[in-house]
């Protein structure tokens, strides 16, 4: 873990989601002394709980021209700077018999106005391009949607921030803010592993904590009107589609199907929830039913495909400042200069927006930070590739796990030991994660437990949901940090976390898989009896 040497910074960024990571990168690249703090692991909030869709902007074209324009601009930028996090799948907007085909013309026109290439495709051609699509479609439009891995994207931003001198503290939670007169001068952190507290100071503090940013603001005596909206999604065992499939109509529930890595994801629902529920969201049976029923309209084969798990994220919707009732919601990027807005200097909140536009959000807030610090330096994040996305070297990858690792880490895969039987042995067979890759993640990518490891490498994200790989991974991590009891507790927590996501869809083969997992870990290994710490960390789940 990074040690905090000198605890005064130019800027402290609160929140290890994509916005915080992107902001830390931008600030560090402009030469600022940066500290990034995150209460749990990177991308545990909204960042890690969405579709993994790299919007073309087409979804917003009709309803929100501004968002659509931002999306397509950032879409084109991310293809270049985050090559290894993006799969250029393209997307279809399909019209079904129950939809109004007249909407298509408006849709295409609005897309074109926003700079999004939208090409009308003959339905028969659409079926050839994407064989899983509902064959009853009466219209299709091709747009430059793509698939993006938010875990990788966040990690790449963090790594680049570090390369530019930023310091990073994970499992450090802001428990209070330090205010002197009318200026925020720092924050009080609690180490969530050992409970120790420490104060850190900065000229500017950026609140990039997503929905939880409302709570940070509250500590500073500032009110931000946020409306947490839960969105649930289902993950299928394998890809049925290789292009993103959307419905060509006004945005509604469960109308996007995205191919992500070896799986595909249908979502989302949308339900307002109280902020207290944001740390423990559950997918309800009604949501599963709706997602499946609507999903089958996009791709009928979803009906007979194994569902791996359900999960839910929360959209950080913000009330527009100019609406005193708080009902009007801003979908765009919201940068709040609390010095101007509330008379509290040294404190800025960046919120709203989308994962898609994180870089733009980071640029906006960093511009403001620089202005406060009287620094004039241009933003380079749109043109500088992220670590791993530098131009490809011509290397020949042979084995399955080498190819999979290159997909996950891009050019950084050269840091993964391979070539000997011990390093090449597979930890996770479903996702092709080798011992070498686990070791690399543990030493270089801020991995403290199995759940962190999963976000960095996909260990346990495959069909078996940890049935075989979890204990192997715990073994590798254990031999590295010499703590068997910690590894057992970790293993117990991990298996329970996997079960939480399987539970809403526990039937058929998925249930059989879960039973086999339970038999191995409870019956055979007795992990639940060996674990001496059963604190369920909901935020990790």
Chain residues that interact with other proteins, rule: CB under 8 A: 237-239, 242, 259, 261-263, 289, 292-293, 296, 303-307, 398-400, 403-404, 421, 426, 429-430, 432, 462-464, 467-468, 507-509, 512-513, 516
Cβ proximity to other proteins, 215 vs 262, nearer residue: 262
Q: Where are the beta strands (DSSP E) in 353-467?
A: 426-428, 433-434
Cβ proximity to other proteins, 262 vs 273, nearer residue: 262
Distance CA 155, CA 254 (A): 28
235 φ/ψ sector (left φ>0, alpha ψ -120 to 50, else beta): beta
Cβ proximity to other proteins, 190 vs 306, nearer residue: 306
Beta carbon of residue 302, minimum distance to other proteins (angstroms, whole number): 9
Beta carbon of residue 148, minimum distance to other proteins (angstroms, whole number): 15
Beta carbon of residue 264, minimum distance to other proteins (angstroms, whole number): 10
Cβ proximity to other proteins, 304 vs 376, nearer residue: 304
Beta carbon of residue 400, minimum distance to other proteins (angstroms, whole number): 5
Cβ proximity to other proteins, 117 vs 284, nearer residue: 284
CB atoms within 10 A of CB 491: 26
CB atoms within 10 A of CB 396: 5
Beta carbon of residue 390, minimum distance to other proteins (angstroms, whole number): 20
Beta carbon of residue 421, minimum distance to other proteins (angstroms, whole number): 6
Cβ proximity to other proteins, 316 vs 410, nearer residue: 410
Closest to 405 measured CA to CA, from 381, 423, 383, 385? 423
Beta bridge partners of residue 316, listed in sequence order? 228
Which tokens hold the place of 213? 């940013």
Beta carbon of residue 250, minimum distance to other proteins (angstroms, whole number): 23
Residues contacting 184, CB < 8 A, separation 6+: 177, 178, 205, 220, 338, 344, 345, 346, 347
Distance CA 365, CA 123 (A): 44
Cβ proximity to other proteins, 194 vs 398, nearer residue: 398
Per-residue burial over 109-148, b if 16 or more Cβ lie within 10 Å, else e, is ebbeebebebeebebeebbeebebbbeebebbbbbbbbbb
């Amino acid at each position: 873990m990074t040690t905090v040497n000198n605890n005064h910074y130019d800027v402290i960024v609160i929140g290890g989601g994509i916005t915080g990571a992107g902001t830390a990168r931008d600030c560090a690249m402009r030469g600022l002394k940066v500290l990034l703090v995150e209460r749990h692991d990177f991308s545990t909030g909204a960042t890690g709980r969405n579709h993994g869709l790299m919007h073309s902007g087409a979804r917003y074209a009709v309803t929100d021209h501004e968002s659509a324009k931002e999306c397509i601009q950032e879409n084109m930028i991310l293809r270049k700077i985050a090559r290894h996090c993006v799969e250029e799948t393209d997307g279809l907007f399909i019209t079904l018999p129950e939809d109004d085909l007249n909407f298509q013309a408006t849709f295409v026109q609005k897309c074109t106005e926003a700079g999004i290439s939208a090409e009308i495709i003959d339905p028969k051609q659409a079926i050839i391009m994407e064989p899983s699509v509902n064959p009853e479609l009466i219209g299709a439009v091709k747009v430059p949607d793509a698939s993006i891995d938010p875990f990788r994207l966040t990690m790449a931003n963090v790594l680049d921030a570090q390369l530019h001198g930023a310091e990073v503290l994970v499992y450090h939670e802001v428990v209070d803010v330090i205010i002197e007169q009318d200026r925020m001068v720092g924050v009080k952190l609690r180490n969530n592993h050992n409970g120790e507290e420490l104060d850190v100071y900065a000229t500017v503090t950026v609140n990039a904590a997503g929905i939880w940013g409302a709570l940070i603001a509250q500590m500073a005596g500032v009110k931000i009107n946020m409306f947490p909206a839960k969105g649930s999604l289902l993950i299928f065992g394998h890809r049925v589609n290789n292009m993103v499939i959307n419905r060509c109509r006004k945005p509604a529930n469960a109308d996007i199907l995205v191919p992500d890595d070896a799986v595909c994801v249908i979502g989302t629902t949308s339900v307002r929830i109280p902020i207290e529920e944001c740390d423990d969201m559950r997918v309800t049976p009604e949501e599963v039913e709706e997602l499946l029923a609507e999903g089958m309209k996009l791709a009928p084969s979803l009906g007979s495909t194994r569902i791996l798990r359900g999960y839910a994220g929360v959209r950080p919707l913000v009330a527009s400042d100019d609406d005193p009732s708080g009902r009007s919601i801003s979908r765009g990027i919201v940068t709040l200069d609390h010095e101007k807005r509330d008379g509290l200097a040294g404190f800025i909140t960046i919120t709203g927006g989308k994962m898609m536009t994180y870089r733009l959000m980071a640029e906006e807030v960093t511009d403001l930070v620089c202005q406060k610090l009287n620094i004039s330096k241009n933003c380079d994040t749109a043109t500088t590739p992220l670590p791993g996305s530098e131009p490809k070297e011509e290397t020949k990858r042979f084995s399955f796990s080498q190819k999979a690792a290159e997909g996950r880490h891009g050019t950084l895969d050269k840091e993964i030991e391979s070539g000997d039987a011990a390093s090449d042995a597979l930890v996770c067979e479903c996702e092709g994660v080798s011992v070498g890759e686990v070791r690399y993640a543990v030493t270089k990518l801020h991995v403290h437990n199995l759940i962190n490891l999963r976000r960095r490498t996909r260990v346990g994200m495959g069909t078996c949901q940890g049935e075989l790989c979890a204990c192997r991974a715990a073994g590798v991590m254990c031999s590295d940090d010499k703590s068997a009891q910690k590894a057992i507790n970790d293993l117990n927590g991990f298996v329970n976390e996997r079960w939480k996501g399987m539970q809403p869809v526990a039937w058929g083969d998925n249930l059989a898989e879960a039973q086999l997992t339970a038999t191995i870990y409870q019956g055979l290994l007795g992990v639940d009896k060996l674990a001496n710490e059963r604190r369920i960390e909901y935020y990790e789940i």
